[in-house]
Amino acid sequence: MTKPIKLKKKELKEFLDSKVEQYNHPRFIESDPIQIPHQFSKKEDIEIAGFLTATIAWGNRKSIINNAHKMMHLLDQSPYEFILNHQESDLEKLSTFVHRTFNGYDFIQFIKSLNHIYRNHNGLEAVFLSSIKEQSLQHSIHHFKKLFFEIEHLPRTQKHVSDPLKNSAAKRINMYLRWMVRQDQNGVDFGIWKQISPALLSCPLDVHSGNVARKLGLLKRKQNDGKALSELDKSLRQLDVKDPVKYDFALFGLGVFEGF
- Per-residue pLDDT reduced to its tens digit, 67-98: 999 999 999 999 999 999 999 999 999 999 99
Nearest to 218 by CA among 26, 18, 9, 72: 9
* List of E strands, 190-246: none
- Give the mean model confidence (pLDDT) for residues 160-171: 96
Per-residue model confidence as pLDDT tens digits over 170-205? 999 999 999 999 999 999 999 999 999 999 999 999
Per-residue model confidence as pLDDT tens digits over 117-127: 999 999 999 99
Q: How far apart are CA 136 and CA 239, in angstroms?
A: 17
Q: What is the mean predicted confidence (pLDDT) over 235-240? A: 97
For residue 98, the SS3 value is strand
With beta carbons less than 8 A apart as the criterion, state whether 26 and 188 touch: yes
Contact, 110 vs 159, CB < 8 A? no
Does residue 221 surpass a pLDDT of 60? Answer: yes
d(C-alpha 204, C-alpha 172), whole Å: 7
Residue 2 binned pLDDT confidence (cut-offs 50, 70, 90): low
**Looking at residue 7, what is its pLDDT?**
84
pTM listed for this prediction? 0.95
pLDDT at residue 130, as a whole number: 92
Confidence of residue 45 (pLDDT cuts 50, 70, 90): very high
Closest C-alpha to 191, from 24, 18, 20, 13:
24
pLDDT reported for residue 259:
81
Please report the pLDDT score of residue 111 as a whole number: 98
pLDDT for residue 146? 97
Burial class (CB in 10 A: 0-12, 13-18, 19+), 120: exposed
Higher pLDDT, 133 or 102: 102
pLDDT attached to residue 6: 79
Q: What's the pLDDT score for residue 91?
A: 97
Mean pLDDT in the chain?
95
What value does the CA radius of gyration of the chain take, rounded to a whole number of Å? 18
- pLDDT greater than 60 at residue 1: no
pLDDT for res 8? 87
Count of positions (residues) in the chain = 260
Longest Cα pair distance anywhere in the chain, in angstroms?
A: 60
Whether 4 shows a pLDDT value over 80: the answer reads: no
